[in-house]
């Protein structure tokens, strides 16, 4: 079917892994090969493009591979990304992370290796670049586009917080896993008549706590967009517990949620290449605090708490149906744009329709829960009203 080589497409996955990445890689590769393109899979996100050694006989197998239908078909039904991933930011590389071949040239504490990335892209003969990632990964895609690279991007993050799109690859599986895991833990909370506090991902946006709660997995949720009062939360949970025949209640806590007067809770203060310190521990703090104040709302009797961090359990395993279908459509949409000679775009799903947006939307704005529209700040749960003409995932559109 391939009459002549149309060009070379480079594809990469950056940031956190999610189910749905391999189906996206497959979709791009299958369509591209059949349209006459060669496809290069960049390993470890932007890291692979930084580490390339520009010598004819150099072993760059750790940095890229040529993709075939056999390779991508084998991987497509699985979770994670067979190209691997990293949080490498070539525009702000720490001195210790600069590859050996560039250390004489880049010796600052923070270094911009974009000139080397562009040379490496040229060395590999890549004509078009398709990065798959969240706003951090895609922000560097914007940089390369401004440098003249032909870029079409796919949004990926289970937090679902990439601006411009209602849906990001990985979100549906995350919500599905959260609901399933929460329901599994109900038996423990009910058996011991305890309060169940579950910490979920969500640094700046609370979609991963809001959607499962809206679906009935939890009684309450606290999110990064609104600081919560611990006594108010405890009172609501004790109220829910008393109304439950099994004598327990559930709250989902976004990892970026904050106490009134407090700040985000960090697992460690060292930062990644994009300046983010690792979050973690807010769920444990919330559980301990609720237990301490519970007697105030339970006739002087303390209520025990089951606290669990769902963590990587919600991003592991195979993609669900939506995270198998949407990546397929996103990948083919990216090829549609390339075939039309259109670049600098972000493939999106907006109000139930597939479309594309200017790529720089990912750096021009932020996507968070509209608290006034979707979150009941008195009852710490989603608002169950005005669903008419909302997108499939309700509060994921920037309205």
**Residue-level pLDDT, tens digit, the chain, 399 residues:** 344 568 999 999 999 999 999 999 999 999 999 999 999 999 999 999 999 999 989 999 999 999 999 999 989 889 999 999 999 999 999 999 999 999 999 999 999 999 999 999 999 999 999 999 999 999 999 999 999 999 999 999 999 999 999 999 999 999 999 999 999 999 999 999 999 999 999 999 999 999 999 999 999 999 999 999 999 999 999 999 999 999 999 999 999 999 998 887 877 666 666 666 777 789 999 999 999 999 999 999 999 999 999 999 999 999 999 999 999 999 999 999 999 999 999 999 998 899 999 999 999 989 999 999 999 999 999 999 888 888 888 887 554
CA atoms of 256 and 191, how far apart (whole Å): 30
- In this structure, is the dihedral angle defined by the CA atoms of residues 143, 144, 150 and 156, taken in order, positive or negative? negative
pLDDT confidence of residue 342: 97
SS3 assignment, position 212: helix
> Which residue numbers are catalytic?
159
Burial of 46 (0-12, 13-18, 19+ CB in 10 A): buried
Asked whether 359 and 344 are in contact (CB, 8 A), the reply is: yes
CA atoms of 43 and 11, how far apart (whole Å): 9
Q: Which two tokens stand for residue 240?
A: 């829910």
pLDDT confidence of residue 2: 40
CA atoms of 277 and 232, how far apart (whole Å): 29
Please measure the distance between the N-terminal and C-terminal CA atoms of the chain and give it in whole angstroms.
44
Q: Domains for the chain: give ranges and CATH numbers.
A: 7-169+319-364 (3.40.50.450), 173-312+371-382 (3.40.50.460)
Going by C-alpha positions, the residue among 105, 85, 163 that lies closest to residue 346 is 163
CA atoms of 167 and 260, how far apart (whole Å): 30
pTM score of the predicted model: 0.93
pLDDT confidence of residue 378: 97
CA atoms of 372 and 374, how far apart (whole Å): 6
Q: Which two tokens stand for residue 111?
A: 């270094």
């Amino acid at each position: 079917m391939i009459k002549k080589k149309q060009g070379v497409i480079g594809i990469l996955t950056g940031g956190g892994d999610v189910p749905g990445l391999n189906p996206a890689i497959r979709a791009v590769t299958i369509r591209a090969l059949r349209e006459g393109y060669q496809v290069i899979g960049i390993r470890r996100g932007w890291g692979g493009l930084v580490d390339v050694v520009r010598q004819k006989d150099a072993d760059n197998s750790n940095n890229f591979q040529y993709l075939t239908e056999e390779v991508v078909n084998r991987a497509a039904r699985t979770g994670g990304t067979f190209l691997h991933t990293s949080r490498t930011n070539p525009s702000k590389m720490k001195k210790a992370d600069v590859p050996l071949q560039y250390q004489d040239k880049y010796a600052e504490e923070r270094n911009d290796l974009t000139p080397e990335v562009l040379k490496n892209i040229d060395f590999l003969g890549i004509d078009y670049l398709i990065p798959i990632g969240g706003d951090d990964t895609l922000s560097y895609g914007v940089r390369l586009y401004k440098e003249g690279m032909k870029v079409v991007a796919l949004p990926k993050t289970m937090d679902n917080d990439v601006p411009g799109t209602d849906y990001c690859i990985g979100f549906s599986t995350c919500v599905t896993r959260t609901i399933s895991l929460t329901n599994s833990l109900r038996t423990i909370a009910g058996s011991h008549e305890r309060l169940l506090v579950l910490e979920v991902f969500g640094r700046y946006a609370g979609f991963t706590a809001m959607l499962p709660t809206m679906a009935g997995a939890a009684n309450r949720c606290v999110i990064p967009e609104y600081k919560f009062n611990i006594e108010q939360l405890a009172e609501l949970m004790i109220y829910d517990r008393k109304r439950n025949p099994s004598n327990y209640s559930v709250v989902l806590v976004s990892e970026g949620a904050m106490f009134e007067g407090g700040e985000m809770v960090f697992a460690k203060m060292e930062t990644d290449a994009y300046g983010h310190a690792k979050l973690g521990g807010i769920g444990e703090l919330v559980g301990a605090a609720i237990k301490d104040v519970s007697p105030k709302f339970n006739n002087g009797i303390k209520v025990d708490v089951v606290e669990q961090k769902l963590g990587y359990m919600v991003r592991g395993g195979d993609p669900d149906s939506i995270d198998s279908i949407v990546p397929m459509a996103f990948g083919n949409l990216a090829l549609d744009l390339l075939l039309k000679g259109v670049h600098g775009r972000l493939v999106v799903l907006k109000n139930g329709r597939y479309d594309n947006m200017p790529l720089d939307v990912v750096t021009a704005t932020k996507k968070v829960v509209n608290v006034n529209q979707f979150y009941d700040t008195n009852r710490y749960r989603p608002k169950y009203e005005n669903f008419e003409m909302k997108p499939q995932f309700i509060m994921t559109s920037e309205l």
